[in-house]
Structure 1
Amino acid sequence: MRDSEIGVVRSGKGAGLTLAVLSAVTFGGSGVAAKPLIEAGLAPLEVVWLRITGAALVLLPVAWRHRELLRRRPLMLLGFGMFAVAGVQAAYFAAISRIPVGVAMLVEYLAPALVLGWVRFVQRRQVARAAALGVVLAVAGLACVVEIWSGLGFDPLGLLLAFGAACCQVAYFVLADHGSDGEREAPDPLGMIAFGLLVGCLAITLPARPWAIDWQVLTGTVDMNGSTVRAWVLVAWIVLLSTVLAYLTGVLSVRRLSPAVAGVVACLEAVVASAAAWLLLGEHLGAVQITGGVLVLVGALIAQSSAPATPAAEPVAGGGGTVAAATGSEARAGDSGRP
């Protein structure tokens, strides 16, 4: 390889790393922007509807460009929108209405461990010992985060909702990797994201009841740890930065890096969410919880970067594709299923 070609590869990886970090930062800020809106009187489902609907409208041209997906993958798009978009965001926003943002995010980071559970017990494939170690570390860290020895230091329903977000994120990983047909042609991740948002919008509209939203909240100001912020600024933050920009930069980063590398960088999201909640919302975590959070992230990193022990991929129950034990599907960079 000539020096000029090496330079192009390195610059591409550098740009990919920058995009991956930007995606993690923008995704990580969603909870910090949403919580003041919820505390001002909007229901969590109403905030989710605003986020998904706004992003779906922005990405409508992308959906139109990939409209053949409606014919090729209708059931996959339905599942992706229901679970990986609407489900994970509704559960996460409901969770942060009851527990700190950082805690909800760390509970959600059990998802890579749960994916390995899917591979081991549903697909009945062996997983690497390092991956099993990652699961143990993540579970031990979570026990520290929620202070399980004191009978759970946070609202049990809030923790259950955060765990529900983790389960929906598993559906995201599974469906994102469920994209290979007989011709081995995976759907474009941008098209999946755009249609996932449209399906999620339709799925969440009836339970969210947007016609009952108190629109005066959106025209006024909300409190962010003693500071006054215009509500519409936070809505724009959630829609444009934490959804549209986060998804697009995530997809572009995976195309310049490997899915595994992009997935590791995405773990910064939990750090960003916890730090932002600390600085902007005054939500402090104790030393034991911070230590537990580090264990959760280390476990997630190990789980994401550990390949299955068996090289051949087995079909997912129900047919049609495979699950990457390291969460290495191409669409992983879109990362939300994630909030």
Structure 2
Amino acid sequence: MHASGSREGGRGAGLGLALVSAVAFGGSGVAAKPLIEAGLDPLHVVWLRVAGAALVMLPVAVRHRALPFRRPALLAGFGLLAVAGVQACYFASLSRIPVGVALLLEYLAPALVLGWVRFVQRRPVTKAAALGVVLAAGGLACVVEVWSGLSFDVLGLLFALGAACCQVGYFVLSDQGGDAGEDAPDPLGVIAYGLLVGAAVLTVVARPWGMDWRVLGGTVRLDGSAVPAAALLVWIVLVATVLAYVTGVLSVRRLSPQVAGVVACLEAVIATVLAWVLLGEHLSAPQVFGGAVVLVGAFIAQSATPAKGFAEPVAESGGAERELSARGTAA
């Protein structure tokens, strides 16, 4: 009875963290768009986002300075895939194919996570998780109105699929150490060093020395209102990056990569709704319907019993709260 309560508590906390992460990630586009319209290159906005977050998390990295010697592959993988890879591949795809197509392909990640779990890790996948992925993908196609911008640029499609694969890396690597007991790497330390690695890689890609820094000292237009550009940048760094990654990684460790991946599809729905509310962008009937389908898919997926090896060891060791405490994590 106690173990069952611990599992439910851990699942509830994990879902809450996943939703916070989806909202935080989903708000990044709304805050970034006015900066881009004011003259900043999209890659420069991405660099500011990651580099700013890395600076905020620098004290955490110093605190866990032994981590690069203990888990160098994990940190390098998280930085290259979960941080730099997703951003670089997604923006590269946007330069060649429509936004809706790029988003849809990127959010094939939950389906790819299921494939990874089933065929690479050889762990069982529940029917609920599989059904949730199918519904979420179908609903997402409606949300992004993929039919309005069909384009088959091969390189663009490959970049978008690359973003999806990097997204898989985010979910799989976020789960690493979840059942390693006291030797588990601190998730905050992993995020801190991942952001540092990502910032270093994106510095080479984005070349920020050519950025128009004057934009950050002025105001930008947000649905007709003048807003300080620096305020939007602070939101992107603290909420859409630091808070989003921290809650996202913690949610994966309390749920499972496949369930957290489906819930993450809500990010596109939230981004669309926020664009409608804050930017005045039109929300069509198919988008509303698609958002509802994504919600149904996420609800079905979260009802799946996690495969042993993801959430079970946490519950069996006395609950997610004690497990995170053992890792030295301050949620």
Structure 1 residue aligned with 2:69: 71
Give the 3-state SS of the residue equivalent to 1:223 in structure 2.
Answer: strand
Query: C-alpha distance in 2, partners of 1:138/1:103?
Result: 15
Query: C-alpha distance in 1, partners of 2:88/2:94?
Result: 10
Structure 2 residue aligned with 1:111: 109
Structure 2 residue aligned with 1:233: 231
CA RMSD of aligned residues (A): 4.1
1:153 aligns with 2:171: no
The one-letter code sitting in structure 1 at the alignment partner of 2:255 is P
Larger relative helix fraction: 2
Give the 3-state SS of the residue equivalent to 2:149 in structure 1.
Answer: coil
- The correspondence for 1:259, drawn from 233, 245, 255, is 255
Q: Is contact 1:146-1:289 (8 Å) kept? A: yes
Query: C-alpha distance in 2, partners of 1:253/1:80?
Result: 16
- The correspondence for 1:122, drawn from 117, 120, 123, is 120
Query: C-alpha distance in 2, partners of 1:22/1:129?
Result: 26
Structure 2 residue aligned with 1:337: none
Query: C-alpha distance in 1, partners of 2:276/2:159?
Result: 21
Give the 3-state SS of the residue equivalent to 2:137 in structure 1.
Answer: helix
User: So what's the TM-score if we normalise by structure 2?
Assistant: 0.74
The one-letter code sitting in structure 2 at the alignment partner of 1:86 is A
Query: C-alpha distance in 1, partners of 2:17/2:301?
Result: 23
Query: C-alpha distance in 1, partners of 2:251/2:175?
Result: 17
Query: C-alpha distance in 2, partners of 1:166/1:126?
Result: 22
Structure 1 residue aligned with 2:275: 277
User: So what's the TM-score if we normalise by structure 1?
Assistant: 0.73
Structure 2 residue aligned with 1:193: 191
Structure 2 residue aligned with 1:133: 131
Structure 1 residue aligned with 2:314: none
Percent identity of equivalent pairs: 67
Query: C-alpha distance in 2, partners of 1:146/1:276?
Result: 14
Query: C-alpha distance in 2, partners of 1:297/1:13?
Result: 17
Structure 1 residues 291 and 160 mapped into 2: Cα distance closer, same or farther (>3 Å)? farther
Q: CA deviation at 1:179?
A: 3.3
Q: Is contact 1:113-1:138 (8 Å) kept? A: no
- Number of equivalences: 305
The one-letter code sitting in structure 2 at the alignment partner of 1:153 is G
The one-letter code sitting in structure 2 at the alignment partner of 1:53 is A
The one-letter code sitting in structure 2 at the alignment partner of 1:245 is L
Deviates further, 176-185 or 277-286 = 176-185
Deviates further, 178-187 or 128-137 = 178-187
The one-letter code sitting in structure 1 at the alignment partner of 2:120 is V
Instruction: Give CA-to-partner distance per residue, 1:164-188, whole Å, 9 cap, x none.
Output: 4333211111222233798883211
Long gaps (5+) in structure 2: 311-319, 325-331
Long gaps (5+) in structure 1: 314-327, 332-339
Give the 3-state SS of the residue equivalent to 1:229 in structure 2.
Answer: strand
Q: Is contact 1:106-1:142 (8 Å) kept? A: yes
Q: Is contact 2:38-2:220 (8 Å) kept? A: yes
Query: C-alpha distance in 1, partners of 2:303/2:101?
Result: 23
